[in-house]
């Protein structure tokens, strides 16, 4: 049986503005919109039946709207509205709709529509359905944003409803959805699909992947009696069937009390279902399985999981829509059919936003382990480590200490028994250390840390000297060689020993002091103001910058005016991802430094910022993505933090704060040792604890330096690549330097060699990157597509509290400030910072807050380390914290026990 549109008719275009549904496919969305294109493609699939119909093209929409010149002014006004001004958007959208509905349909267009209706076989009831060009896209479905009208009878009524569909392009919900997905209203056009109405016995939706878990092997069928309108609108609970490998593995039969039916004269009506029929299934088991088989055929044609609307009439299935399921997290590509378990890199690196192509590929090329990209994020395949007992135990222990949610997610997958294969532990290498043995001892000597830092600095300096002479293809050959040096430094055995020594000493202190003294997280008080931490020093150094500016009133006033303008312009950026900017956004540019220098005291202020940038200017939010703008590129990012420091602190605060932390740590050490000596065998315990305290204070600060070394090196790489991009722009190969961010490193290498670039690839990558912001990356992802985030298995948290991971001891109560963009933070002394994640670039904010809550994080991630050094109570890994905690709400952070109370 071949795919066909019913009833059989000749295919082809019927006029300038009307095209037969069977004459189009998925490549013609610009002509017939997303819905029309997908329906045309559906009709071409073998065995798939689609109700006959035609499309009124986007040319017709443009022709009609051109007859209302006032629309241009209305759209200009709409584009300037604040995205948060819902009332203004609602009012203006309604005016635009009234304008479009009031435009008469031209006679020639009306004649084409009437002719197409006649070719459907005489007077027939129709479904009239909106089909926008920005609809049913792989990256955004726009489902339900425009209008559909069922059981429309007669040419005059069809024409009237076509006008309504055109106008529905500007429903409030459609305008808001386009704003969220970065789609310009002027770039979207409306086609209309008109199809012969099907009067079904049952109808519903088929998801070829589980829309909740993401599992690609589980299909879900929702079914109800009559038209699918009642089910789609949520007025009726559907029967739900789950199918895997050709079997129904779960089903729920709902009490279907209402159904929607077509009326003879047109329109629809909701009617009661007979009591004896309400609990009968809308589909038989055989019908469910047949429907899923057809759905798999549709999925194979489109190449991705589909959300399919279907109806059953005369024991045959008709399909009235198919669109991609855009909410599923994409899968890493594999070249086998084996099961795989992937762990999120972003949750370990404190950067869960999507990365652009160049950033993702550079991180993979310089990483110590192989990685896989999906949805703009990176993942590590841990399947083999989970398969063998010893490596599994080591992985779960390491992950559990860092992020209990990731461990729980892995254990959830392992509990299924058959997903991860069982393999024996590999034999130890001859002469190598025993598997799971103790780490190699290291002497507690600050000179070891000094040596490692000097090695890193010397290597970056050598890179800076050498790269200046490189360009063209030779630059890429040189960088590939330097990536080896980069990995060598990261994998330096001595560096790894120092990092592990500090972490293991922390764990030892927490475990032993809880056992011996009954004190939770005792190491937190012992690591206050630990020496040599480049990240905590960075936050304190910005206090010194504020000290330079504070005496100069005109400088401070200038910064306040600048920040006010920045905030005003920033309103247009709302809805963008965490810390993300645009390449041409000069709001945070460095031009303000030149203006600053012309003010009384401004030269000293500029020099202070410049000196700060010389040391820390390579940092930024999301700094593992090389494409993110660095502070050196946009120094105005620091203005709100500097103003907070001027307002909230007195001169000399940096030195006082560091010394205060050091004094508290020394007092804590003396207290702990005295209490230990009072115990049986106390001298031995105190001596062991003293050695571990010395070790942690010597080595824990170095934990932050390798990341600093990475971003220092990345800054050099980026500037070299941007210089090359400038040459490509000068040669006319690229339009903008920032276009290189949407190419992988190898693709950019090829462009430099060939002097040619695929513009369509760049635009596809831009669109994909934009769409990835709407996706939430899971902590664990399986090759079946299941996103597993884990749960806290704790019963020691009060009802109503938000549970998380305790990473810095203490309890604090204060005003929550929910901040998603560091450059727009305005904090008062005593505020508690609530955000999605904090990488090292956020540490300048830490000096002025009283506590920290994040959605992502672990015991040894950067935010946790700095919170402990500054003595801030902190709870991380609090799921959906930025949504559940309101900005300005009072909260209490229990940093010792790992939960947050929401107060009045």
**Active-site residue flag, 894:** no
Within 8 A by CB and 6+ apart from 159, the residues are 105, 110, 113
Q: Distance between CA 425 and CA 387 in Å, rounded?
A: 9
What is the enclosing helix (H) or strand (E) of 891? strand 890-894
Alpha helices in 649-704 (DSSP H): 653-677, 682-699
The sign of the dihedral angle between the CA atoms of 880, 881, 886, 890 is: positive
Decide: residue 87, CB within 10 A, 0-12 exposed, 13-18 middle, 19+ buried. Answer: exposed
In sequence order, the β-bridge partners of residue 817 are: 833
Q: What is the rounded distance in angstroms from the CA atom of residue 394 to the CA atom of residue 138?
A: 39
| Phi and psi angles of residue 600, each rounded to the nearest 5 degrees, phi first | -60, 120
* Separation between Cα atoms, residue 380 and residue 28, nearest integer Å: 38
CA dihedral 29, 34, 38, 39 (to 10 degrees): -100
| CA 803 distance to own-chain centroid | 22
Tell me whether the omega of the peptide bond preceding residue 7 falls within 30 degrees of 0, making it cis: yes
Q: Helix 357-366 vs helix 705-730: angle between axes, to the nearest 10 degrees? A: 130
How far is the C-alpha of 249 from the C-alpha of 217, rounded, in Å?
Answer: 12
Rg (CA), the chain: 31
Tokens of 800: 């109503």
CA 693, 695, 698, 701: dihedral to nearest 10 degrees? -90
Select from 58, 234, 64 the least CA-distant residue to 134. Answer: 58
> What residues contact residue 719 under an 8 Å CB cut-off, 6+ apart?
none
Alpha carbon distances (Å) from 561 to 379, 461, 552, 604, 762:
43, 38, 15, 19, 37
Chain centroid to CA 199: 42
Tell me which of 340, 552, 742, 862 is the catalytic residue.
862
Q: What is the DSSP string of 171-229?
A: -HHHHHHHHHTT--GGG--EEEEEEEPP--SEEEEEESS-TTT--TTEEEEEEEEB-TH
Instruction: For residue 835, give every residue at least 6 positions away whose Cβ sits within 8 Å of its Cβ, in sequence order, or none.
Output: 578, 818, 819, 820, 842, 853, 854, 855, 882
| Burial of 660: CB neighbours in 10 Å, binned 0-12, 13-18, 19+ | middle
Distance CA 295, CA 761 (A): 30
Sign of CA dihedral 797, 801, 807, 808: negative
What is the spatial distance between Cα 140 and Cα 132, in angstroms, rounded to a whole number?
12
Residue 164 CB burial class (10 angstroms; 0-12, 13-18, ≥19): middle
**Residues designated as active site:** 862
């Amino acid at each position: 049986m071949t795919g066909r549109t019913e009833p059989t008719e000749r295919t082809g275009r019927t006029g300038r503005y009307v095209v037969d549904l069977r004459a189009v496919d998925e490549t013609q969305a610009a002509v017939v919109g997303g819905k029309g294109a997908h329906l045309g493609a559906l009709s071409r699939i073998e065995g798939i039946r689609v109700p006959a119909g035609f499309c009124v093209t986007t040319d017709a929409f443009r022709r009609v709207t051109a007859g209302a010149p006032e629309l241009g002014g209305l759209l200009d006004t709409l584009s300037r509205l604040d995205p948060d001004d819902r009332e203004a958007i609602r009012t203006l959208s309604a005016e635009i709709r009234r304008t479009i509905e009031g435009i008469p349909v031209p006679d020639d267009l009306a004649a084409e529509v009437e002719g197409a209706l006649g070719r459907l076989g005489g007077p027939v009831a129709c479904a009239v359905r909106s089909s926008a060009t920005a609809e049913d896209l792989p990256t955004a479905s726009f489902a339900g944003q425009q209008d559909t009208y069922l059981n429309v009878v007669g040419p005059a009524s069809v024409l009237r409803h076509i006008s309504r569909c055109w106008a529905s392009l500007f429903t409030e919900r459609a305008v808001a959805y386009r704003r969220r997905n970065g789609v310009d209203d002027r770039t979207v056009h409306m086609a209309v699909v008109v199809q012969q109405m099907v009067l079904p016995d049952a109808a519903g939706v088929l998801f070829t992947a589980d829309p909740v878990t993401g599992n690609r092997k589980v299909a879900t069928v929702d079914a109800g009696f009559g038209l699918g309108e009642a089910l789609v609108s949520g007025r009726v609970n559907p029967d739900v069937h789950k199918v895997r490998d050709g079997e129904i593995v779960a089903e729920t039969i709902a009490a279907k009390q209402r159904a929607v039916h077509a009326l003879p004269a047109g329109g629809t009506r909701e009617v009661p279902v007979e009591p004896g029929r309400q609990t009968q299934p809308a589909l038989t088991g055989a019908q469910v399985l047949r429907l899923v088989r057809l759905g798999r055929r549709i999925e194979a044609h489109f190449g991705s999981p589909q959300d399919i609307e279907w109806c059953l009439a005369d024991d045959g299935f008709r399909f009235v829509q198919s669109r991609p399921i855009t909410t599923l997290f994409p899968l890493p590509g594999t070249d086998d059919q084996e099961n795989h378990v992937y762990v999120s890199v972003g949750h370990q690196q404190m950067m869960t936003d999507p990365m652009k192509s160049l950033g993702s590929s550079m991180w993979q090329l310089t990483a110590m382990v192989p990685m896989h990209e999906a949805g703009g994020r990176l993942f590590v395949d841990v399947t083999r480590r989970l398969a063998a007992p010893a490596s599994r135990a080591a992985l779960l222990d390491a992950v559990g200490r860092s992020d209990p949610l990731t461990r729980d997610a892995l254990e959830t997958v392992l509990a299924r028994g058959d997903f991860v294969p069982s393999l024996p532990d590999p034999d130890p290498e001859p002469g190598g250390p025993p598997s799971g043995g103790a780490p190699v001892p290291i002497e507690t000597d600050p000179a070891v840390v000094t040596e490692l830092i000097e090695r890193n600095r010397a290597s970056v300096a050598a890179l800076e000297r050498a790269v200046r002479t490189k360009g063209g293809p030779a630059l890429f050959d040189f960088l590939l060689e330097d990536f080896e040096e980069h990995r060598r430094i990261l994998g330096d055995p001595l560096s790894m020993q120092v990092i592990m020594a500090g972490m293991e000493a922390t764990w030892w202190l927490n475990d032993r002091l809880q056992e011996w003294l009954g004190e939770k997280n005792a190491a937190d008080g012992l690591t206050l103001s630990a020496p040599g931490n480049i990240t905590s020093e960075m936050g304190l150094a910005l206090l010194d910058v504020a000290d330079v500016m504070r005496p100069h009133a005109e400088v401070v006033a200038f910064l306040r005016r600048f920040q006010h303008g920045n905030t005003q312009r920033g309103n247009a950026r709302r809805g963008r991802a965490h810390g993300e900017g645009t390449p041409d956004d000069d709001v945070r540019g460095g031009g303000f430094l030149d203006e600053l220098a012309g003010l009384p005291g401004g030269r000293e202020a500029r020099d202070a910022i410049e000196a700060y940038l010389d040391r820390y200017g390579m940092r930024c939010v999301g700094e593992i993505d090389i494409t993110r703008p660095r502070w050196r590129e946009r120094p105005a990012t620091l203005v709100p933090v500097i103003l907070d420091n001027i307002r909230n602190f007195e001169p000399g605060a940096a030195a006082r704060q560091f010394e205060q932390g050091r004094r508290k740590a020394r007092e804590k050490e003396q207290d702990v040792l005295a209490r230990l000596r009072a115990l049986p065998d106390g001298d031995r315990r105190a001596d062991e604890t003293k050695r571990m305290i010395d070790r942690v204070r010597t080595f824990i600060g170095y934990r932050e330096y390798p990341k600093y070394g990475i971003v220092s090196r990345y800054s050099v790489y980026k500037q070299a690549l941007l210089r090359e991009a400038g040459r490509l722009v000068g040669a006319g190969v690229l339009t903008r330097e920032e276009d290189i961010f949407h190419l992988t490193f190898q693709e950019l290498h090829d462009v430099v060699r060939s002097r040619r670039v695929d513009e369509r690839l760049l635009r596809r990558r831009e669109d994909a990157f934009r769409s990835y912001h709407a996706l939430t990356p899971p902590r664990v992802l399986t090759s079946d597509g299941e996103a597993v985030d884990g749960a806290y298995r704790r019963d020691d948290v009060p009802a109503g509290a938000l549970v998380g991971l305790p990473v810095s001891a203490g309890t604090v109560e204060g005003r929550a400030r929910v901040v998603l963009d560091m450059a727009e933070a305005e904090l008062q002394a005593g505020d508690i910072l609530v955000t999605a994640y904090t990488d090292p670039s956020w540490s300048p904010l830490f000096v002025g807050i009283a506590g920290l809550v994040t959605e992502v994080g672990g015991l040894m991630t950067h935010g946790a380390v700095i919170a402990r050094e500054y003595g801030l109570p902190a709870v991380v890994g609090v799921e959906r914290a930025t949504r559940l905690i309101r900005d300005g709400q009072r909260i209490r952070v229990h940093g010792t026990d790992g939960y947050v109370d929401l107060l009045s």
